[in-house]
Structures are given as structure tokens and as C-alpha cells.
Amino acid sequence: RLGALCFFRSSAVLDQSSSKMSKLQKIMTQPINLIFRFLQNKSRIQIWLYEQADLRIEGQIIGFDEYMNLVLDNAEELSMKKKTRRQLGRILLKGENITLMMVADGSSH
């Protein structure tokens, strides 16, 4: 049930003809589509941060762009070491800081 999202550059991984690439793209779920689904379902998302293994961010996506910059509402910073939560409110999280996104534990979606 782990609805996690890991990012990779498909163009760097796949060095094939464009017809094979288009067939693969039809069966793949594009990261942008999954982020849009999180937005539509109003899911509470947990985000793992790049080079910050001790910190995670949880919140509801209310906007995003092509760089995967996210606007999160009711955001919280989770310290995995201290087992604490800090209320952040509405934030902009730059896409370059995101390592993984998944539906947060206890989310109804």
C-alpha cells in the first residue's frame, strides 16, 4: 500500500527510438499526473527531503508547477530524530528539495 513516488529522468534512463519511448510513456504514470491526483483528492502527503534524512514535511498540495515546486497548506515539519512536529502553515517547497512523496499515514485517501 506504499503509494510512494520516486523521481528519475526517463530520457536519461531510456536510450531507445521515439516509437518505443511513446509506447512506454502510455503505460507509465507520469510524476506530474500523480501530483495532480494528490491535489484533486486533497490527500495529505509526506515528503522526504533531499540530504535531510531527519526531516520530513507533511501537508496538502494546493498548487504545483512544471519544476515540481509545491504549495502546501497546513504543512508540518516532522523531526524523525526528536519525534516532534512543528506547524508551518502554508509554504512553498522547491522541487529540488524533494526526494520522495507518498500519502501520509492516517490520510483517508
Query: SS3 of 68, please?
Result: coil
pLDDT digits (tens, 9 = 90+) for 50-106: 999 999 999 999 999 999 999 999 999 999 999 999 999 999 999 999 999 999 987
Beta-bridged to residue 44, according to DSSP, are 60
Q: What is the edge-to-edge ordering of all strands in the sheet holding 44-49?
A: 4-6, 98-103, 44-49, 55-64, 70-79, 84-93
pLDDT digits (tens, 9 = 90+) for 9-27: 444 444 455 566 666 666 7
0.85 surpassed by pTM: no
Q: Which domains does the chain have, with CATH numbers?
A: 17-103 (2.30.30.100)
Q: Are 59 and 45 in contact (CB under 8 A)?
A: yes
What is the C-alpha separation between 27 and 13, in angstroms, rounded?
16
* H or E segment and range at residue 87: strand 84-93
